[in-house]
Structure 1
C-alpha cells in the first residue's frame, strides 16, 4: 500500500442556519479554520436527511425497480427502492421499511455496501447502500409517495440494457448499480447485516 500524506480535518468555529425548511432541508453557513491557520467565514452546508437505496433481488433472480417521475430530475426515471431515514432510525431498519412500503416485499438476507457522503463539500446527507436477497411479496405496496409508481422486475440483461439506455436518471441509483455490478469491489465492501 502506498504511503499517505497526513491530512488534518478542518475545525468548525461557528455554524448558523440561514434557511430552515424542516423536515426537508436546512442551509447553514459555517465559519471554519483550516489546518494552515486560514479561516473561511462562509462555507455553506446543506443538511438533508440521510437515505437508503436498495438493490432488491427477488427469489427468481430478477431485480425489483420502480419507474416513477422524480421532480428533482424533472423526468421519469427507473429507481431502486429506497427513501429517507426517519429520525433515530437505523439504516438497515429504514431499508427494510422502505422495501416493504415501496414494493410490498421483504428480504431473507441483507448485505450492507457502506454509506457515502452525497456531496464532498456541501454535505447533502449520506447514502446508505444495501443488497436485499431472496425478496418475496408480503403485502401490497403502501409508499405514500406523491408520484405514481410502476414496480418492475428486471432480469440481468434487462437491467444492463436499462442502464445503457439511460433509464436510470439519478446519481445515487447509478452509484448503487455500479457497486453491485463489480464483483471484485463487492467482494471487499459487502458486509452481511441481516
Structure 2
C-alpha cells in the first residue's frame, strides 16, 4: 500500500500549548487531490491504571468540562516537551494522587484520531502502588480520590462510568492484563 502524500500545510489556528489546527493539501495514492484536510495537533498524554498493593485501583471521581455529570477517571496528564512517556506517567501518578508504583507496564501507544490526528495517548499499568504523600493535582475541575476493588472497577466500566474513551481504554486494558 502506498502512503498519502502531504503537498502543503497551513496553520488555521494556533493556541499553544494545547491546540493547533492545520489545513493539509493531500494527494491520495490513486492520484485524487484533497486540498482541505483538517489536521489537529494536541500534546501527547499519558493515562495510568494504578493498582495498590492490596489490589485497589487508584482513581478519581470528577467532573470534566466536556463530560456530562461525574465520571470515574484514572491518573493522567500531558507530556512535557521532550519528556519520556514512562517518566511522565510516573510523575503524573505522584503529582495527582500521591502514589508511587514499583512495577510499570506499557499498555500501548495509540493515535487519538486516525483521520485527524489530535494527539497520541500512552497508556500504562502501574502495580504495587503505595501512598507516599498528598497529591497536588492541577486539574481545574473538582475531584475526589477513590480506591476501588477490581470487581467494582469492572462493574463501573460495564456501566459506562468512565466517560472518556482513553480512560475506559486504559482501564479495560489493565483489567485484561490482570486476568493473565
What is the TM-score when the length of structure 1 is the normalising length? 0.88
Match of 1:80 among 74, 81, 88: 74
Match of 2:109 among 104, 108, 115: 115
Give the 3-state SS of the residue equivalent to 2:104 in structure 1. strand
Give the 3-state SS of the residue equivalent to 2:43 in structure 1. coil
Distance across 1 between alignment mates of 2:69 and 2:113: 22
Aligned residues: 180
1:75 Cα deviation after fit = 2.7
**Pair 1:19 & 2:7 matched:** no
1:178 Cα deviation after fit = 2.1
Give the 3-state SS of the residue equivalent to 1:36 in structure 2. coil
Match of 1:132 among 122, 126, 137: 126
Match of 1:157 among 130, 151, 160: 151
Distance across 2 between alignment mates of 1:113 and 1:55: 10
Gaps of 5+ in 1: 1-6, 188-194
1:119 Cα deviation after fit = 0.5
For residues 94-115 of structure 1, the C-alpha deviation after alignment (integer angstroms, 9 at most, x for no partner) is 1011101110011101000110
RMSD value, Cα = 1.5
1:177 Cα deviation after fit = 2.0
Distance across 2 between alignment mates of 1:167 and 1:86: 29
Distance across 2 between alignment mates of 1:181 and 1:156: 8
**Pair 1:60 & 2:54 matched:** yes
Distance across 2 between alignment mates of 1:78 and 1:59: 20
- Which has the larger strand fraction? 2
Gaps of 5+ in 2: none
* Equivalent residue runs for 1:80-99 within 5 Å: 80-99=74-93
CA contact (8 A) 2:76 2:92 kept: yes
Distance across 1 between alignment mates of 2:107 and 2:157: 20
What is the TM-score when the length of structure 2 is the normalising length? 0.95
